[in-house]
Structure 1
Amino acid sequence: MTAVPAAEFGSARAPDRSRHPLRRTARTGRSAVRIVATSITVFLLASFLTYGLGAVGHANPAAAVLGDIATPADITRMNHVFGLDRPLLVQYFSWLGHALTGDLGTSYFTSVPVSQSVGQALPVDLSIAVLALTFAVVLGGAAGIAAALRQGGKLDRAVTLVCAGLATVPPFVIGIALIVVFSVFLKVLPSGGYVPLGTDAGQWLRFALLPALALSVEGAAAIARQLRTSLVAAVKENYVTGAVARGLPARRVLFGHVLRNAAGPALTVVGLEIPNLIGGAVVAEKIFNLPGVAQLALQSGSQHDIPLIQGTLLVTIGVVLVSNIAVNLVLLRLTPQARRPAGAAV
């Protein structure tokens, strides 16, 4: 195998011409405010679309609740009880105001508070998603670093080929393959079901391993490919020579400076993978029989339970946006160039 000389990883952090601490802090603060403000705007637009699509749909919740024997007068009276006879904007702002306080309404069919139903299902998805994201970052990061260290060698080509192949395989195919291998043949892990983390951490891990692995493969492949590309480009920068001349240890430079500069694109991939994990949860919950938010949303959709549909979508949007805010703030902290406004000199 042809290894990249260790000296090439003697890179220092890319120079930041605005070294005054107060100036850097102010710039970071402005960037963080922009990130949060943008996310709030997206949340408001998404919440309005979520509520609007439910409100203008062809389904008539009052008629569905009352059944075939309902008269037009009964339906009108029930629409008034549900508040569906008010203007759309009035309904939306009333719903959003209550939602921001934790009140997502009540199911039309079960009379159970939506927040209670979502609160029981959401931890399933969050625990699986966090485990899947951990697998993706650890496996993808290790593979990307290993490939960059052996640029052009057999390991580099193997990682690139495997990642390219895995990126094209849907999560449900990987999930079925994992069930066949670990549940049917090896009989070491259950094929489905769920135990809450707070009830038994060991059993939770046994049930969560396969769905988390199935969801993590695509993200791990994307992270590995992006990180490998970024690292290979980073070691060719001019400031690498300067770091080598100063005699910085290769390991310290790799993990303390080069990796920090090259992590930006990989972190962006992490942010993009979060919605994919949420979307993949629909299939994963079905394959592995998980009582998560996706199954709750599918069930509510089949019943035209508008408050439950809107509540699950709103919570999902909130989780995705909060996760992306966190990723962007980490990116802002790790990469100085992300603090610079567009068009600024570097």
Structure 2
Amino acid sequence: MTTLEISPAVEPAGAAAEPPAGRRAGWGRAFARPLRSALSVGIPVVLLSTFITYAMGALTDTNPAAQVLGETATPADIDRMNHYFGLDRPLLVQYFSWLGHALTGDLGRSYFTTLPVTDSITQALPVNVSIAVLSVLLAVLVGGGLGIGAALSSGGWFDRAVTMLCSAVATVPPFVVGIGLIVLFSVTVPILPSGGYVPFTEDPGQWLRFAILPSIALSVDAAAGLARQLRTSLVGELRANYITGADVRGLTRRRVVFGHALRNAAGPALTLLGYSIPQLIGAMVVAEAAFNLPGLGKLGLDAASKGDIPVIQGVLVTMIGLVVVCNLLVNAALLRLTPHAKRQER
């Protein structure tokens, strides 16, 4: 007689219970590995990318001091301004001086406005964070719903329609989707604004009207990838032995799918979502230009056009930090949802 293999995902809740102190220790161990992984990748990337930016700025013929002072500046004036900016020091000295201050939260001052770079980033960052959060939420809801529906109707017309739709959508760049949305919802049927931004804290309704189109444009690719991956993983889980065992034990279909199969199938989909986040943040630069959003991308592009190195460095470090933090959160969610990942951490 064949013995059915029952996955740990269907263990009774009481069997996995731990004392509060044990849970806290387990969470600490669970976060330790993704944190080490994120830092081991993020720190070298920050060092290399910021140094390359400094080196490229030093190798150009553009002199920020001369640009700030204008055409009437004398060589003596330019030398004084270079000394004020610290540009008369060796490149490595400049870089490590900036890095030391950056570790304390001081990203320097703009060459042209003399405003603290940290203040400029603080004003622009909420735009990116709010759009990114809404984009990820839309990707998870739409992609997750389509993937689950396709898996439950595996081989049927809905499954084939979702597969064809996701394959077609994945080939369209976000900026093309954005332009299409503007033409459709701002020109043809003018129900939404084509650009601009209102902070969520000032007017949540107006914020949503301005944020929904760029968020949809950014979420389409991630939603398509998520739907395809979740569909594939969930179909495999629904054919596993432990699902048959759960059915034999009399568990409802909803509990089997959403309580056990989906939990185990979520791992690859979450991993794919983690890979999509850097692409989403990079695509946001183009979305800001298309939808006239005052975010980090616009701040960085304006700084690049003038050669404002401190602002470029600050924007670059902030975007890398966003990628590292988002990947850390995805890894933590993966460890929370997949029991086998937790056991590997112990």
* TM-score where L is the length of structure 2: 0.88
Unaligned runs of 5+ in 2: 1-5
1:167 to 161, 167, 170: 170
What secondary structure, in the 3-state scheme, does the structure 1 residue paired with 2:202 have? coil
What secondary structure, in the 3-state scheme, does the structure 1 residue paired with 2:150 have? helix
Return 37-46 or 86-95, whichever deviates more: 86-95
Tell me the alpha carbon deviations over residues 163-189 of structure 1, each in whole angstroms, 9 at most, x when there is no partner.
000000111111111111111121111
Return 301-310 or 240-249, whichever deviates more: 240-249
Partner of 1:13: 9
- The answer to whether the aligner puts 1:101 opposite 2:104 as a matched pair is yes
Partner of 2:41: 42
Q: 1:184 to 1:136 in 2, by over 3 A?
A: same
User: Percent identity between the aligned chains?
Assistant: 59
Letter of the structure 1 residue corresponding to residue 100 of structure 2: G
Tell me the alpha carbon deviations over residues 299-335 of structure 1, each in whole angstroms, 9 at most, x when there is no partner.
1001000000000011111111111101101101111
- The answer to whether the aligner puts 1:82 opposite 2:81 as a matched pair is no
Q: 1:31 to 1:11 in 2, by over 3 A?
A: closer
* TM-score where L is the length of structure 1: 0.88
Distance in 1 (CA, whole Å) between partners of 2:188 and 2:196 is 18
- The answer to whether the aligner puts 1:259 opposite 2:262 as a matched pair is yes
- The answer to whether the aligner puts 1:182 opposite 2:181 as a matched pair is no
Letter of the structure 1 residue corresponding to residue 174 of structure 2: P
Tell me the alpha carbon deviations over residues 235-282 of structure 1, each in whole angstroms, 9 at most, x when there is no partner.
122212221121111101211111110000111121112112211111
Distance in 2 (CA, whole Å) between partners of 1:45 and 1:331 is 24
Letter of the structure 2 residue corresponding to residue 118 of structure 1: I
* Alpha-carbon shift at residue 69 of structure 1 (Å): 4.6
Tell me the alpha carbon deviations over residues 186-232 of structure 1, each in whole angstroms, 9 at most, x when there is no partner.
11111111111111111111111111111111111011000000000
Q: CA RMSD in A?
A: 2.6
Q: 1:51 to 1:67 in 2, by over 3 A?
A: farther
Partner of 1:32: 31
1:194 to 193, 197, 203: 197
Unaligned runs of 5+ in 1: 1-9
Distance in 1 (CA, whole Å) between partners of 2:220 and 2:254 is 28
The 8 Å contact of residues 193 and 209 in structure 2, kept in 1 or not, is answered as yes
